[in-house]
Amino acid sequence: MLAFEFIKRIIFCSFNSEMMASSKLRGKDLRKINYPNDKTKSMAIDIVQRHFKHLPKQEKLKLLTNVLLHPEDYLDHPEMGVLANEFVVKEEEKEGTFHDLDEAKPYQVYGRKFIDQNTIRQMDLAMKLPIAVQGALMPDAHVGYGLPVGGVLATQGAVIPYAVGLDIGCRMSLTIYDVPATFIERNRHQCKVAIKEHTHFGIGKIRENLEEHEVLDHADFQATEVLRQLHAKACNQIGTSGSGNHFVEIGKVCLEEDNRFGLRAGAYVGILAHSGSRGLGAAIANYYTRVAIDTCWLPKGAQHLAWLDLDSEAGQEYWLSMNLAGQYAKACHDVIHRKLAKALGIKPIHKVENHHNFAWKEMQVNGEEWIVHRKGATPAQEGVMGIIPATMVDPGYIVSGLGKAEALQSASHGSGRKMSRKRARESFTGSDMKKILKHSGVTLIGGGVDEAPLAYKPIQDVMDSQKELVKVEGTFLPKIVRMDK
């Protein structure tokens, strides 16, 4: 009997020792569950050996995995707290300055009856910034990101990346060709093929065949680490367009006698494009908006309007990057117009272009330099040419600026949305769109009901509201329209 008990005890101890050995943790076990370094592996093994040695191995690994993935839940744990503290992300203390908002400064509103209260409130908030000195709302204004689309804001000594926007340097560019507009109907199929094959739309869209342009060799791409990292993206997206309301259109340019171009009165072929700086501009905007928010602290609801002082390193970097993105946006348009002209065998004689989503240093009559942010609004200094498109079926306007100081020498960049994309999709069908397009004799490639003409303000209301801002020099009527699908 005693011998039996002795043998049973030996077997039990042996079995128990094997179990203990098989449940023992080693560094390779912790490596498999992604423990980051030797220090945390050693700490974990020591804690488990002292406090959890009787747990099965899988239970130990499960516990240690939870501590790694959810350290905040174990900070007060009597045994695991010290290990959990190694995994909590310790944010560096950020250095910044808190700024209170002022009372909203008065500003000029053009076409107020066509602008909703949410847009007014958004502009009011911008005018409460202590750096704001003057503002204006254009008649196409509607709620946007940062500033309202159609919002103009002047500041002193500082730039607001989010007031410039994500699509830095987005522009309208119209090329007029020495070809009568009857060319479009006679060669409609050729025009459709050309615009389908030589334009490229969509978020993240890249070119399969890379284009060359001198902007890609610009020295500023080597000026900062951010720009160096974005150079390849810029190369891949040159000559492409975004989504949303970006477009390329072939249409009729109508000019009267004594026009600014010195051309005979009549209808000419025109190509109009609307797009911006693609992924390059968006990445610059996102990076420097975050830098601004981290250092310029504003009350809740206004944080996105944080600014960068132009005499700071970050401010100078953003200004350089913004201007490079503007040049890149122009280069994208150059590629689009060049390729279409070559495909159609037509020669340009005049080009009209302007840009929005940008900031300019502009000298005022009192000798002060202001930073003028135009978000979905375009420069309209006296004599400066521009193009204000409407919808895909309505005539846009070629204009020259009248230099209105109260408007910060600005004008609208289009007709402006009167309903959101969501509401447009709920209000119109594909059949509705086809009827409108057929009635207007317009061919649409891509596009969607969120861009339905009735989702926009009537262009005539917008133009009537800014007669003191621009002079009409001609019109452009779309005939073949290409947008993102």
Spatial separation of the C-alpha atoms in residues 9 and 34, rounded to whole Å: 40
Q: Which of 34-48, 137-151, 451-465 has the lowest mean pLDDT?
A: 34-48
Strand partners, 251: 270, 478
User: pTM (2 decimals)?
Assistant: 0.79
For residue 274, give Cα distances in angstroms to 132, 174, 333. 29, 9, 8
Task: Determine contact, residues 167/242, Cβ cutoff 8 Å.
Answer: yes
AA identity, residue 201: F
Q: What is the pLDDT of residues 264-304, one digit of tens each?
A: 999 999 999 999 999 999 999 999 999 999 999 999 899 99
Domain boundaries, the chain: 23-87, 108-482
What's the whole-number mean pLDDT along residues 151-178?
96
The percent of residues in the chain predicted with pLDDT above 90, rounded, is: 73
Q: Which of 187, 142, 188, 149 is nearest to 166 (CA)?
A: 149
Spatial separation of the C-alpha atoms in residues 300 and 304, rounded to whole Å: 9
Residues 6+ apart with CB under 8 A from 341: 175, 177, 271, 347, 348
pLDDT for the residue 90: 55
Model confidence band, residue 2 (pLDDT cutoffs 50, 70, 90)? very low
Q: Cβ–Cβ contacts within 10 Å for residue 72, how many?
A: 10
Residues 6+ apart with CB under 8 A from 18: none
Spatial separation of the C-alpha atoms in residues 193 and 480, rounded to whole Å: 11
Task: Determine contact, residues 263/253, Cβ cutoff 8 Å.
Answer: no
Q: What is the pLDDT of residues 428-469, one digit of tens each?
A: 999 999 999 999 999 999 998 999 999 999 999 999 999 999
Does residue 93 register a pLDDT over 70? no
- Domain spanning 108-482, CATH architecture: Alpha-Beta Complex (3.90)
Does residue 7 register a pLDDT over 70? no
Q: Which of 104, 190, 160 is nearest to 374 (CA)?
A: 160
Q: What is the pLDDT of residues 106-126, one digit of tens each?
A: 999 999 999 999 999 999 999
Q: Which residue has the higher pLDDT, 70 or 396?
A: 396
Q: Which of 153, 92, 88 is nearest to 123 (CA)?
A: 153
Strand partners, 482: 248, 445
Residues 6+ apart with CB under 8 A from 478: 249, 250, 251, 272, 392, 393, 396, 442
Residues 6+ apart with CB under 8 A from 473: 255, 259, 260, 385, 397, 398, 399, 400
